């Protein structure tokens, strides 16, 4: 069949097959050894029956000479009755008491290296050498032209008969001579296996290479050899099965031809497959069935990569193998082995799945030829039928669903010129013209597959006492129609807006919804609850697809968010556990969607502040997720609830941040950040953190807890890097605006107030260090505001213009000192230790400034006034602390004692 480069490949396959057979033989030998050991133990431990005792009276009357002469002994018995050797000083073990068990026999010693080499390895290598020698002799005679075709075939047949005769003669010789053959190095079995392989090669060469045999004769002869192999393997064991069957699969590679005849090849392989499956079924050799399936699937690949792919013989190969697997391998179906009801058997399922994989390869390699599609459809339908009758093959449903999706997905991605385009909604355009036969056939297949999987998945519920069987059916029945619909949408509508496909998705959702309601009303059976959840999942998934098909990008985001809300509400009405997870999945999908395009609708956001696409694209999902979290919380706190709560917080924050970005950039969304934007971002982050701190006290949600901390950190980072570094008006040329109502008020005073409120919100609920850190941030923002406002008074809107005068430096000191006094007054009035400590910090900074900066930069009256004011304030503060805060009560003098 194939040319010379496959010689090495053939040799490797033969050796691998040989090793497989050795492993099977070793397993059989181990089983026989254990059985022999059990038999020996049984006979050794069985007590010997003594002769019947005579009555006492008879014993008394018996003459004394009656027992004087024993019967004559046989030579072996005489040898055993020889006098024992002299007794040594060794103490012999005490005799066994009547009824005691005899000790078990000692296990036979393991064979050494020499025994293994001489009794096993040389036999294995010799059998392999005989088979390969016959094959290569045929190749050599062909290449050298030594003999004609007829003589070659004749010599091959003679060599095969000689090997078969030698194998049978040696088997009978061992049987007659009572010589026990080694089970794992059985010479008769190996000789017979080599002869079987040579016979296969000879008949195949006579038919495919030289045309000596017509197809009918070749079919009969190959069938006879296969049946002979089956019968011989029943006598000789797994060694013959492994070498003979694998050798038969390797034969078409070793005996090659420049013009492959795939019909001859696949007819031959079908006969070999039938023989090996039959043998595997009779002897219950799972390894033989798996090996046969593996080689049969490998034989699908030759010819797939050629331009003139012959679809018919390849289709015959997969169909024949599938039928043989269903008849002989699948447990509980036709002639397959029996199995306990409700159990999925791996070999039964994988055998059907392997041939489905082969049919899929033919479809893909033939560019979806009609004959390949028909064969593939027949095998998928047969898989549903076999799995329906034999639960052991239910696992093949997964392979069927996967191959169906791959076929349609590959067809959708091909992007051939004959693609059809459906109009996007009511627009005028080219309508669907299904004139291409391939498109028509695919549409018919899609309808058949969707209906077949969906109906079978629904009606299979309640037919099994096992939970896994109906779950697999329902999973395939839900996933396959949805996958096919997505593939058709991608192929025909080009992922554009399409009302017809949206209608199809709604119809599919209605069907799944009806199935869900019907299953909810059924009696409780194994797996029905999970199947109901899967159909409910399909309902929501189909609705999501309908929205995807019908809506533009922005509306799709909103629709998916509303799907999360609807799913959460349905979970209250129908307590199906999977619905909670679906709500979280929809939330995750929407989150991933905005990660792809944060502007939701690209450049079509609009320029109107607040009321633009961001409000709908972020606001509606945020509201949906908050409402969904309320529904989900009614039935407990779990992972789906936390996912939805996280999405609610994320979309709320993103709504605020994106709207601020839109407002600060005038709708451009791509400009560099500004002081206005940073100020608003920091204020919003701190405000939302305050809200979450209050909310978490009621909900005790870990998501609200973490969200408050994260928003506080975001606000702090924006403040540090944005307001104090990147957009600091003291460092960069920034127009801060008017004298009082300006960006300084928004960027520094308002964050200070919000941080102060946030510090009070966390007091007693979080660590003291956390609350004090936030309060310290409030103090920094407030002091920065006082400083920048003084700067604004002297320099105008641009704080970087002009130099710093002595009056300005003096004003800084007075302003800081006044700010410290105000803090002290507040601390005294409200009895706040934190405010008083803040006052002390500010006054300490003022003192430091006075001695470090004012003393060196101020001159004249400003230096004097600076220190005078500082001294007066410090004295006044000391008086306040002494007279008000820490006033000491003077003890009254002791009363004078009067004399009586």
Whether the per-residue pLDDT at 256 is higher than 60: the answer is no
Residue 76 pLDDT grade (very low, low, confident, very high; cuts 50, 70, 90): very low
Whether the per-residue pLDDT at 80 is higher than 90: the answer is no
Give the pLDDT of residue 441.
Answer: 84
* Averaged pLDDT, 485-513: 89
Count other Cβ atoms within 10 Å, centred on residue 314: 27
Whether the per-residue pLDDT at 36 is higher than 80: the answer is no
What is d(CA 353, CA 399) in angstroms, rounded to the nearest whole number? 5
Give the pLDDT of residue 858.
Answer: 65
Give the pLDDT of residue 42.
Answer: 64
Residue 442 pLDDT grade (very low, low, confident, very high; cuts 50, 70, 90): confident
Whether the per-residue pLDDT at 392 is higher than 50: the answer is yes
* Averaged pLDDT, 23-30: 60
Give the pLDDT of residue 747.
Answer: 94
Residue 112 pLDDT grade (very low, low, confident, very high; cuts 50, 70, 90): low
Share of the chain above pLDDT 90, in %: 34
Contacts of 483 (CB under 8 A, 6+ apart): 401, 404, 405, 408, 409
Residue 46 pLDDT grade (very low, low, confident, very high; cuts 50, 70, 90): low
Give the pLDDT of residue 688.
Answer: 97
Give the pLDDT of residue 649.
Answer: 96
Whether the per-residue pLDDT at 425 is higher than 50: the answer is no
What is d(CA 486, CA 721) in angstroms, rounded to the nearest whole number? 47
Give the pLDDT of residue 303.
Answer: 78
In DSSP notation, 156-215 reads: HHHHHHHHHHHHHHHHHHHHHHTPPPPGGG-HHHHHHHHHHHHHHHHHHHHHHTS--S-H
Closest to 498 measured CA to CA, from 443, 434, 552, 538: 552
Give the pLDDT of residue 405.
Answer: 93
Q: Write the burial class of residue 571 (CB in 10 Å: 0-12 exposed, 13-18 middle, 19+ buried).
A: buried
Whether the per-residue pLDDT at 864 is higher than 60: the answer is yes
Lowest mean pLDDT among 161-165, 486-490, 583-587: 161-165
Closest to 475 measured CA to CA, from 527, 415, 413: 527
Give the pLDDT of residue 573.
Answer: 76
3-class SS of residue 352: helix
DSSP 608: S
Contacts of 880 (CB under 8 A, 6+ apart): 824, 828
Task: Please state, in angstroms and as integers, the Cα–Cα distance from residue 403 to each residue in 302, 367, 618, 823, following that order.
Answer: 20, 15, 39, 75
Lowest mean pLDDT among 27-41, 605-619, 874-888: 874-888
Residue 69 pLDDT grade (very low, low, confident, very high; cuts 50, 70, 90): very low
Whether the per-residue pLDDT at 457 is higher than 60: the answer is yes
Whether the per-residue pLDDT at 74 is higher than 80: the answer is no
What is d(CA 695, CA 678) in angstroms, rounded to the nearest whole number? 26
Count other Cβ atoms within 10 Å, centred on residue 821: 18
Residue with tokens 């799913």: 567
Whether the per-residue pLDDT at 49 is higher than 80: the answer is no
CB 683 within 8 A of CB 756: no
User: How far is Cα of residue 337 from the mean position of the Cα atoms in its chain?
Assistant: 32
Q: 328 or 279: which carries more pLDDT confidence? A: 328
Residue 19 pLDDT grade (very low, low, confident, very high; cuts 50, 70, 90): low
CB 409 within 8 A of CB 479: no
CB 799 within 8 A of CB 792: yes
CB 258 within 8 A of CB 142: no
What is d(CA 752, CA 789) in angstroms, rounded to the nearest whole number? 14
Phi, psi dihedrals of residue 737, rounded to the nearest 5°:
100, -150
Give the pLDDT of residue 99.
Answer: 45
In DSSP notation, 122-142 reads: HHHHHHHHHHHHHHHHHHHHH
Give the pLDDT of residue 105.
Answer: 54
CB 238 within 8 A of CB 286: no
- Pull the structure tokens for residue 509: 């959702």
Residue 114 pLDDT grade (very low, low, confident, very high; cuts 50, 70, 90): very low
Residue 378 pLDDT grade (very low, low, confident, very high; cuts 50, 70, 90): very high
Give the pLDDT of residue 121.
Answer: 53
Whether the per-residue pLDDT at 522 is higher than 50: the answer is yes
Closest to 788 measured CA to CA, from 756, 812, 822, 813: 812
Lowest mean pLDDT among 265-279, 684-698, 866-880: 866-880
Task: Please state, in angstroms and as integers, the Cα–Cα distance from residue 509 to each residue in 17, 474, 892, following that order.
Answer: 51, 15, 92
Whether the per-residue pLDDT at 185 is higher than 80: the answer is no
Give the pLDDT of residue 329.
Answer: 93
Residue 735 pairs in a beta bridge with 798
What is d(CA 320, CA 274) in angstroms, rounded to the nearest whole number? 9
Q: What is the pLDDT of residues 291-316, one digit of tens each?
A: 999 999 999 998 787 777 889 999 99
Average pLDDT, the chain: 78
* Averaged pLDDT, 566-570: 85
What is d(CA 432, CA 442) in angstroms, rounded to the nearest whole number? 14
Residue 129 pLDDT grade (very low, low, confident, very high; cuts 50, 70, 90): low
Give the pLDDT of residue 47.
Answer: 54
3-class SS of residue 699: helix
Whether the per-residue pLDDT at 161 is higher than 50: the answer is yes
What is d(CA 527, CA 474) in angstroms, rounded to the nearest whole number? 10
Closest to 398 measured CA to CA, from 479, 481, 296: 479
């Amino acid at each position: 069949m194939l040319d010379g480069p496959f010689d090495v490949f053939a040799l490797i396959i033969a050796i691998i097959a040989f090793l497989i057979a050795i492993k099977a033989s070793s397993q059989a030998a181990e089983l026989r050894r254990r059985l022999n050991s059990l038999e020996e133990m049984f006979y050794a431990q069985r007590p010997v029956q003594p002769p019947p005792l005579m009555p006492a009276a008879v014993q008394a009357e018996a003459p004394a000479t009656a027992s004087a002469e024993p019967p004559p002994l046989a030579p072996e018995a005489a040898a055993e009755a020889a006098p024992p050797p002299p007794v040594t000083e060794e103490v012999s073990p005490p005799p066994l008491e009547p009824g005691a068990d005899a000790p078990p026999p000692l296990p036979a010693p393991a064979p050494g290296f020499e025994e293994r080499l001489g009794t096993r390895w040389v036999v294995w290598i010799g059998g392999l050498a005989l088979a390969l020698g016959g094959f290569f002799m045929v190749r050599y005679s062909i290449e050298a032209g030594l003999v004609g075709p007829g003589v070659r075939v004749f010599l091959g047949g003679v060599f095969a008969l000689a090997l078969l005769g030698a194998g049978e003669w040696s088997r009978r010789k061992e049987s007659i001579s009572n010589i026990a053959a080694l089970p794992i190095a059985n010479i008769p079995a190996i000789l017979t296996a080599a002869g079987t392989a040579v016979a296969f090669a000879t008949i195949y060469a006579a038919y495919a290479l030289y045309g000596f045999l017509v197809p009918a004769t070749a079919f009969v002869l190959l069938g006879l050899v296969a049946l002979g192999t089956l019968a011989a393997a029943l006598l000789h064991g797994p060694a013959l099965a492994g070498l003979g069957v694998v050798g038969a699969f390797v034969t078409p590679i070793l005996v090659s031809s420049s013009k492959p005849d795939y019909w001859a090849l696949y007819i031959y392989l079908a006969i070999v497959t039938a023989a090996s499956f039959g043998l595997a079924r009779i002897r219950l050799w799972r390894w033989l069935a798996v090996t046969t399936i593996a080689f049969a699937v490998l034989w699908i690949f030759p010819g797939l990569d050629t331009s003139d792919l012959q679809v018919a013989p390849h289709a015959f190969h997969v169909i024949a193998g599938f039928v043989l697997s269903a008849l002989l391998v699948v447990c509980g179906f036709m002639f397959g082995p029996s199995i306990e009801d409700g159990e999925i058997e791996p070999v039964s399922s994988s055998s059907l799945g392997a041939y489905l994989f082969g049919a899929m390869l033919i479809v893909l390699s033939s560019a979806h030829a009609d004959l390949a599609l028909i064969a593939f459809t027949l095998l998928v339908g047969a898989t549903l039928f076999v799995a329906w009758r034999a639960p052991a093959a239910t696992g093949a449903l997964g392979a069927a669903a996967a191959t169906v999706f791959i076929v349609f997905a590959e067809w959708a991605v091909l992007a051939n010129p004959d693609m059809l385009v459906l109009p996007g909604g009511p627009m005028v355009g080219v309508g669907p013209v299904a004139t291409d036969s391939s498109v028509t056939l695919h549409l018919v297949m899609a309808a058949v597959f969707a209906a077949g999987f969906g109906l079978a998945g629904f009606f299979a519920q309640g037919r099994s006492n096992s939970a896994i069987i109906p779950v697999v059916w329902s999973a395939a029945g839900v996933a396959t129609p949805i996958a096919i619909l997505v593939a058709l949408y991608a192929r025909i509508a080009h992922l554009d807006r399409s009302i017809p496909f949206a209608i199809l998705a709604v119809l599919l959702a209605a069907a799944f919804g009806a199935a869900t309601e019907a299953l909810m009303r059924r009696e409780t059976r194994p797996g029905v609850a999970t199947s109901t959840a899967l159909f409910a999942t399909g309902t929501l998934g189909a609705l999501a697809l309908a929205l995807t098909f019908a809506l533009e990008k922005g509306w799709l985001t909103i629709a998916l968010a509303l799907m999360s809300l609807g799913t959460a509400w349905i979970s209250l009405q129908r307590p199906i556990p999977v619905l909670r997870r679906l709500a979280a999945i929809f939330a995750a999908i929407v989150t991933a969607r905005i990660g792809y395009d944060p502007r939701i609708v690209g450049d079509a956001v609009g320029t109107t502040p607040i009321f633009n696409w961001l409000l709908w694209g972020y606001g509606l999902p945020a509201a949906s997720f908050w409402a969904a979290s309320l529904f989900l919380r009614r039935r407990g706190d779990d992972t789906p609830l936390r996912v939805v709560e996280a999405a609610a917080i994320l979309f709320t924050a993103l709504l605020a941040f994106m709207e601020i970005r839109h407002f600060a950039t005038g709708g451009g969304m791509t400009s560099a950040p500004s002081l206005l934007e940073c100020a608003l971002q920091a204020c919003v982050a701190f405000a939302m953190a305050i809200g979450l701190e209050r909310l978490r006290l009621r909900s005790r949600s870990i998501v609200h807890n973490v969200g408050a901390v994260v928003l506080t950190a975001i606000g702090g980072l924006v403040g540090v890097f944005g307001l104090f570094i990147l957009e600091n008006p003291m460092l960069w040329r920034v127009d801060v605006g008017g004298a009082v109502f300006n960006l300084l008020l928004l960027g520094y005073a308002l964050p200070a107030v919000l941080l102060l409120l946030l510090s009070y919100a966390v007091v007693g609920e979080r660590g003291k260090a956390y609350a004090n850190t936030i309060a310290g941030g409030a103090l920094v923002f407030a002091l920065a505001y006082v400083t920048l406002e003084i700067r604004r008074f002297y320099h105008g809107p641009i704080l970087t213009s002009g130099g710093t005068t002595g009056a300005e430096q003096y004003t800084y000191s007075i302003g800081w000192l006044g700010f410290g006094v105000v803090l002290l007054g507040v601390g005294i009035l409200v009895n706040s230790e934190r405010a008083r400590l803040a006052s002390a910090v500010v006054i300490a900074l003022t003192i430091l400034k006075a001695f470090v900066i004012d003393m060196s930069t101020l001159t004249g009256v400003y230096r004097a006034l600076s220190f005078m004011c500082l001294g007066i304030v410090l004295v006044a503060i000391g008086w306040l602390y002494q007279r008000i805060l820490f006033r000491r009560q003077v003890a009254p003098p002791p009363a004078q004692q009067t004399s009586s």
